[in-house]
Structure 1
Amino acid sequence: MTDEPLDVLVLGGGAAGLSGALTLARSRRSVLVLDAGEPRNAPAAGVHAFLTRDGLPPAELVRLGRAEVESYGGRVRTGAAVTARREGPVLAVDTADGETLRARRLLVATGLVDELPDLPGVRELWGHDVLHCPYCHGWEVRDRAVAVLGTGPNALHQVKLFSQLTDDLVYLRHRAPALTDDEAEQLAALDVAVIDEEVTGLEIADGRLVGARLADGRVVARQALVVGPRFVARSAVLEDLGVEVLDHALGGRYVATVDPTGRTAVPGVWVAGNVTDLSAQVVGAAAEGTLAGARINADLVEEDIARAVARHREGALA
């Protein structure tokens, strides 16, 4: 690295970060993507609901994205950001390997962490037989024996969405509040069986889900389990800079922005993807990255013009 700061440092090399970097590189900005190599969707077999890329393995999407960024002069490297601070007009980020990267603008697309229910087997099957999003993975479990686990405030909403994907659906209330009369009527109308017993773990055979084990010893035979993770933004570096992190109404934590482009209240800092939009799918995160990249470039253009005008005035007075 030279002493000259980058135009933009992008933290996070998923769909949001790479899309932002691609937009910036195509605008002839010096841009570096620093990626810790911990993609949220790594357990999944494929990316879904992404037009022209449906079913593509997540690692392949990243490989293609990196190649596109690099084809326009952008750089991508593996590494983790550990702290950040402002140094006069630039933003400085310290990496885990002891380097300091400096840039005029910062785009943070570090995503989120899925905090899963603490039940044996859930983590092991996450992204395959254990899932949460009907739009990301619902088609893959269509017409199967599916259960929705009563965790989180969104469980009944998940039941309703998955009811259109399979006729064999069970609601495992687990530790969720008792159903109201209206809720019970809705599930009865949908022909969704309700089991009030607490779940103690999953039964797995040959790496696949075969059922949910109840506290009374029974096993409810199922082929897929829908859970509600708590989504927590990877925000430590942003908090170093004073960016606000908020509690979400449905649980979890997300980074606050001041406009739809992902700009935060801290000058020079933008965010995109799941770090700020907990429900964004891959295609949505990519779109947010593109929008943030375009806005960052426009912001830099205005700064460059102001500098050029200052130099012009100095020359006229000389």
Structure 2
Amino acid sequence: MDADVVVIGGGPAGLSGAKALARSLRSVVVVDDDQPRNAAADGAHNVLGNEGIPPRELLATGRRELESYGGRVLPGRVTDARAVDGGFEVSLADGGTLTARRLLIASGAVDELPDVPGLAERWGRDVLHCPYCHGYEVRGQAVGVLATSPMSVHSAMMFSQLSPDVVLFAHTYAPSAEETASLTARGVRVVEGRVGGVEVTDDRLTGVRLVSGEVVPRVALVVTSFARARTEHLTGLGLPVEELRMGDLVLATKITAEPTGRTPVPGVWVAGNSTEPMAQVVASMGAGLMAGAQLNMDLITEDTARLVSARA
């Protein structure tokens, strides 16, 4: 085998898991295609000791730390992975392959945005989704929330803690009377009508444009994205994928796993947004560390059984 563990994905979860393994003197290779979910964000927040650190700077530091313990980061894209005798084989886009005794999946998720022109171009900058990731940066300012589901009402309530000027645009979801009462109590104004796009001046969002032509001045727009786990390159493993639901509302897809990261496929663990779509950077780091520790113990157990058998 090329390594004890191949980690697919070099984000916070993957690098944390790989580092734990390398510090346990395991051979580990991280394959990363350089598509971090938070690449558009100016900084990662609530990262104790590294508040506001640019996401790519955080990952670069993590790669250096991993390599200092003997771990390896391989730039590339995984196209498939499958079980083979004694472990797993990972196929790469350049035609190469890697073999490993175990796999850690940390490919993350992709955010699918509502079908409104201009959102994708502003994503992670002034088109936002998380009050804990971006809320403080727009505190006290004119914030809009694009209503597409009950989760949008939840977002408006959250952002009303950070600004007295929050508008809920009843785009494709009209809040109920009870929801409207709660929003009104929090000072959130509801604007009827579908949203047709965003207004941008000097590379800054300045307003939300309704299909009627009316423009409501805003400096940020909160949307609810659909987080889809990146699994298109993992079909050969047969990993089960499930929906994350809030009642009848489907919020995301995720790889099925135990809290430790162990999947139903023997020898495969998962961490980060691949299995916890709502996890922020620090939570993903913690999940990666847990998975790495679990993988190391699983390998120790296997190695010990072989040693006992050999002595017998």
Q: TM-score, normalised by structure 1?
A: 0.95
Q: Is 1:215 equivalent to 2:214 in the alignment? A: no
Matched with 2:88 is: 91
Aligned mates of 1:72, 1:192 — CA distance in 2? 51
How many Å separate the matches in 2 of 1:248 and 1:301?
A: 33
The one-letter code matched in structure 1 to 2:254 is: Y
Supply the distance in 2 between the matched residues of 1:152 and 1:45 (Cα, whole angstroms): 27
Matches within 5 A, 1:23-102: 23-102=20-99
Q: Which moved more, 1:240-249 or 1:8-17?
A: 240-249
Give the 4+ runs in structure 1 shifted more than 4 A.
none
Query: Is 2:198 the partner of 1:202?
Result: yes
Q: Highest CA radius of gyration, 1 or 2? A: 1
* CA apart distance, 1:310: 1.4
| Partner Cα distance (2:254, 2:29) in 1 | 24
The answer as to 2:240 corresponding to 1:233 is no
Write the distance in 2 (CA, Å) between the matches of 1:104 and 1:112.
25
Alpha-carbon shift at residue 236 of structure 1 (Å): 2.2
1:123 maps to 2:120: yes
- How far the C-alpha of 1:88 sits from its partner, in A, is 1.4
> Percent of counterpart pairs with the same letter?
51
Partner residue, 2:162:
165
Give distance in 2, aligned partners of 1:89 and 1:30.
Answer: 16
Distance in 2, Cα, partners of 1:41 & 1:18: 15
**For the Cα contact (< 8 Å) 2:135–2:162, is it kept in 1?**
yes
Aligned to 2:107: 110
Query: Which residue of structure 2 aligns with residue 252 of structure 1?
Result: 252
User: Structure 1: which amino acid aligns with 2:284?
Assistant: A
Deviations 1:45-89 (A, max 9, x none): 000011111100001001100000000000001011101111112
Structure 2 CA distance for aligned equivalents of residues 5 and 232 of structure 1: 30
Give CA deviations for 1:82-132 in whole Å, capped at 9, x if unaligned: 011111121111000001111000000000000011212111111111100
3-state secondary structure, aligned to 1:37: coil
Structure 2 residue aligned with 1:147: 144
Which residue is 2:303 aligned to?
Answer: 304
**Is the 8 Å Cα contact of residues 153 and 175 (structure 2) preserved in structure 1?**
no
8 Å CA contact retained: 1:80, 1:96: yes
CA distance in 2, matches of 1:295, 1:51: 24
The whole-number CA distance in structure 2 between the counterparts of 1:209 and 1:18 is 34
Contact 2:79/2:234 (8 A) holds in 1: no
1:136 to 1:248, Cα distance in 2 relative to 1, 3 A: same
Query: Whole-Å Cα distance in 2 between the matches of residues 286 and 239 of structure 1?
Result: 25
The CA RMSD over aligned residues, in Å, is 0.9
- Amino acid in structure 1 at the alignment position of 2:79: V
Whether contact under 8 Å (1:111, 1:273) holds in the other structure is yes
Give the Cα separation in 1 of the matches to 2:73 and 2:175: 50
Letter in 1 for 2:234: L
User: For 1:185 and 1:41, how far apart are their aligned partners in 2?
Assistant: 34
Change (3 A) 1:57 1:160: same
- TM-score, normalised to structure 2, is 0.97
Distance 2:306 2:117 in 1: 59
Q: Distance in 2 between matches of 1:153 and 1:300?
A: 45
Letter in 2 for 1:173: A
Q: Match of 1:218, as an amino acid?
A: E
Give secondary structure in 2 for the equivalent of 1:147. strand
Helix, strand or coil for the counterpart of 1:301?
helix
Aligned 8 A contact 1:47 1:55 in 2: yes
Amino acid at match of 2:260: T
Aligned residues: 308
8 Å CA contact 2:262, 2:268 repeated in 1: yes
Tell me, yes or no, if the aligned pair for 1:152 and 1:230 is still in contact at 8 Å.
no
The CA deviation at 1:217 is 0.6
The residue type equivalent to 1:33 in the other structure is V
Deviation, structure 1 residue 13: 0.3
User: What SS does structure 1 have at the residue aligned with 2:251?
Assistant: coil
1:208 aligned partner, one-letter code: R
Structure 1 range deviating more: 82-91 or 21-30: 82-91
> Secondary structure, in 3 states, of the residue corresponding to 1:237?
coil
